[in-house]
Structure 1
Amino acid sequence: MSLPTSDTPLYNHPLPQIEQWLSQLGGQQDREELHCWRLKHDSWIAQIYLETEQLIVCYLNAASDGSNIKRAFKYSLSRQDIQDAVLDGP
C-alpha cells in the first residue's frame, strides 16, 4: 500500500497507512496496546501513542534530570512535519 504524499495531513491517512509509516521509521508496535509504538534512535527512545485527537511522543529518560519529555502533534499537521519533529528528537 503506497502512502499519500508527505505533505498530506496525517488525518487523511487511514490507520493501516499510519502504521505502515511508523514501521518504515523503524517503529515497533506494542502487541498488547496496539495504539502504542516504540521508536529507537541512536541517542533516544520514544514511545508513540496514536490517540484520538493527536499523536503523542514521549522521549524516555530524555531530560537532563532523567525524566521523560512529552510532545503532542495534531493530526492536521502533514506527515512530513510530524516525521521531522519526531526524528529531530527531544
Structure 2
Amino acid sequence: MPLPAADTPLYNHPLPDIEQWLLTKGCEQNRSERHCWHIQQPDWKAELCLDIDQLTVRYKQPHESDYSIQRSFKYSLSRRDIEDAVFAGP
C-alpha cells in the first residue's frame, strides 16, 4: 500500500506506514526499544524515537560518544516537512 501524500500530517499515517517510510530512508529499528530507529550517514548519525506526540531526533557526529543536538517534530507537521528537516542532518 502506498504512503499517504507527502503533505499529509504524520499523525494521519498508520504506524506500519511510518515504519515503512523510515526503512526506505535507511533507518534500522532498535531491537530492544522498538519505538526507536537509527540511521548512519557519512557525516552524522542519529537516533529517531517515535514518542507519544512527536518524533524526537538526537544527532551526533560519527566519532563522538554523546549526542550533541536534539530536535523534536510534532506529528502535526507533514511527512515532507519532517523528512526534509530530519534527513538533512544536524
TM above 0.5, yes or no, is: yes
TM-score (norm 1): 0.91
Deviations 1:8-67 (A, max 9, x none): 0000000000000000000000111100000111210000000001000000248xxx65
Task: Give the paired residue count.
Answer: 87
Q: Which amino acid aligns with 2:84?
A: D
**For residues 1-90 of structure 1, what are the structure 2 equivalents within 5 Å?**
1-61=1-61, 67-90=67-90
Structure 1 residues 54 and 67 mapped into 2: Cα distance closer, same or farther (>3 Å)?
closer
Which segments of 5 or more consecutive residues in structure 2 lack a partner in the other structure? Answer: none
TM-score (norm 2): 0.91
- Which stretches of structure 1, 4 residues or more, deviate above 2 A after TM superposition? none
Percentage of identical aligned residues: 55
Which 10-residue stretch deviates more, 66-75 or 4-13?
66-75
